[in-house]
Structures are given as C-alpha cells and as structure tokens.
C-alpha cells in the first residue's frame, strides 16, 4: 500500500552553515573597517583633484597622515622623522613591497611632502598614492 506524503517527509534545506558564514563575514568586515577608520580618524582636509582615481583595494597599504603643520602620524600617533624612517624600513622588511597611502592636508607645504617622499623612497617604497577628494 502506498503511503501518503506528509509535511515531515519533505526534504528540508539546512541554512545553519549559511547563517554561520554570514556572521563570520559580518564580524570580519566590522573589524577591518574599524582598523581603517582608526587610521583615518585625524581631521585632515584633503585637496581636490579633477582626475582623482581611488584604487579599489587599499587594505595592503600603510596609511600615513601628514597634517597642515607638517607633523607625521602613523597608527593614530605622532611620529618624528627618525621614527618614520625606522617604521618604514621595518614595514619594508616585514612585508615587501612597501605601498603607502599618504593623506596629506591641503595646507601641508610641498617641501614637507617631498621630504616624506624621499623618506619613503629610501625605505624602499615602490608605490605611494595621495588621498584626494574628487571634483
């Protein structure tokens, strides 16, 4: 005799692994965005550029802030030129190639930006991009 199908006989779809993955991704993005925001927390007025193109992924770059008075900031703390040189050399040794995302205030003297670029070059930086607002 044939048995009638009941609601319990139907094959279900187990969504538990999908929920687990969703929460893992959510936690990952929350943690990584917090780290990036911490490094960008400084109040810096970025210059405008008509041809500004922001790379899609800056996660593998060291973020360096240069305020209007020419003070360097890395990882949310003020650093001297010597500390910056040591930091850049250490970062180059740890994870070559050294790539930098420079957030220089629009009031920063060009001479000071050039000094930083020389520091980065001497430390082995292969790529420095400037943060700007697109016009």
Quote the DSSP letter at residue 32. Answer: H
Domain count, the chain: 1
**Proportion of the chain above pLDDT 70, given as a percent:** 84
In a domain, 112, yes or no: yes
In a domain, 29, yes or no: no
Residue-range definition of the domain harbouring residue 92: 37-134
Question: Looking at the predicted structure, is the pLDDT value of residue 103 above 70?
Answer: yes
Q: What share of the chain is helix, strand, coil (3-state, %, to 5)?
A: 40, 20, 40
In a domain, 123, yes or no: yes
Query: What average pLDDT does the chain have?
Result: 83
In a domain, 79, yes or no: yes
CATH number of the domain bearing residue 62: 3.40.250
Q: If you average pLDDT over residues 119-133, what whole number do you get? A: 89
Q: What is the pTM of this model?
A: 0.65
Lowest mean pLDDT among 30-34, 104-108, 124-128: 30-34
């Amino acid at each position: 005799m044939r048995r009638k199908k009941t609601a319990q006989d139907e094959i279900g779809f187990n969504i538990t692994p999908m929920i687990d993955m969703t929460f893992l991704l959510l936690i990952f993005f929350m943690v990584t965005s917090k780290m990036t925001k911490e490094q960008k927390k400084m109040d810096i007025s970025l210059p405008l550029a008509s041809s500004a193109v922001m790379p899609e992924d800056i996660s593998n770059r060291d973020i360096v802030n240069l305020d209007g008075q020419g003070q360097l900031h890395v990882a949310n703390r003020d650093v001297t030129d010597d500390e910056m040189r040591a930091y850049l050399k250490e970062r180059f040794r740890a994870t070559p190639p050294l790539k930098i995302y420079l957030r220089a205030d629009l009031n920063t003297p060009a001479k000071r930006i050039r000094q930083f670029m020389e520091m980065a070059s001497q430390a082995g930086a292969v790529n420095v991009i400037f943060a700007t607002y697109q016009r």
